[in-house]
Amino acid sequence: MHAAEQYIESLYLADEVLERVKIGIREANMPEISIAFGYGRLLTLLVKTAGARRILEIGALGGYSGICLARGLPADGRLISLEINPDFAAVAARHLRMAGLDGIAEVRVGDATESMRRLEEEGARFDFVFIDADKGGYPAYLEAALRLTVPGALIVADNALLKGKTFNPEADGPSVRAMRAFNEAVASDPRLESVILPAYDGLAIARVKT
Ligand code: MG
């Protein structure tokens, strides 16, 4: 973490629920790659200010970002979080329950592309999509998100920088190429207006044009 990020984080009281989630993730031997503290706060703020009511999350991991998203929802809102790893999904569901958000949040186990296709067939539509899953899948997740969202919806994605690999000309590989393609699509797709924040590991925020 950069000194600037550390300084900003030091201004805030520790979030007891999210601290417990991080411990739970460590104890479950899961990768400790939850969204950064500041971006978690930003997710809650974005959901609230956008007045989002139906959120789709791609990649639940241990439920950290799911909690941040669901916290922004009204009591009758809904979060569907997709997770391919059933063990991770169980941890995420436990953490959402611990946070008192299990009434509005649901973790679905399965391949995200398949789950999104099914949601599309069911006619489900979302006003907020958060992408934080396998990086190779990002370009396809963006296309699927565009099919699943209403005009004015927000599509937010973590890890735009891939620890600096996306802008390092020497870095290569399927994940790097996919993330570069994703970032370029976010920046130039005529269906979107967007910004990509370069703090932490980079966060893309796009709005589906009306
Ligand atoms: Mg991430």
User: Which band of pLDDT confidence, cut at 50, 70 and 90, is reported for residue 21?
Assistant: very high
Neighbours of 112 (CB within 10 A): 22
- Model confidence at 57: pLDDT above 90: yes
Distance 159 CA to ligand 1 centre (A): 5
- CATH number of the domain at 189, please: 3.40.50.150
Count of structural domains, the chain: 1
CA distance 180 to 184: 6
DSSP code of 29?
T
Distance 7 CA to ligand 1 centre (A): 21
Please, is 56 exposed, middle or buried when counting C-beta atoms within 10 Å of its C-beta (0-12, 13-18, 19+)? buried
Neighbours of 206 (CB within 10 A): 25
Residues 62-82: tens digit of each pLDDT: 999 999 999 999 999 999 999
Distance 26 CA to ligand 1 centre (A): 16
Distance 78 CA to ligand 1 centre (A): 21
Looking at residue 40, what is its pLDDT?
98
What distances in angstroms separate CA 205 from CA 15, 86, 125, 156, one per listed residue? Answer: 24, 28, 19, 5
Domain extent, residue 103, equals: 3-208
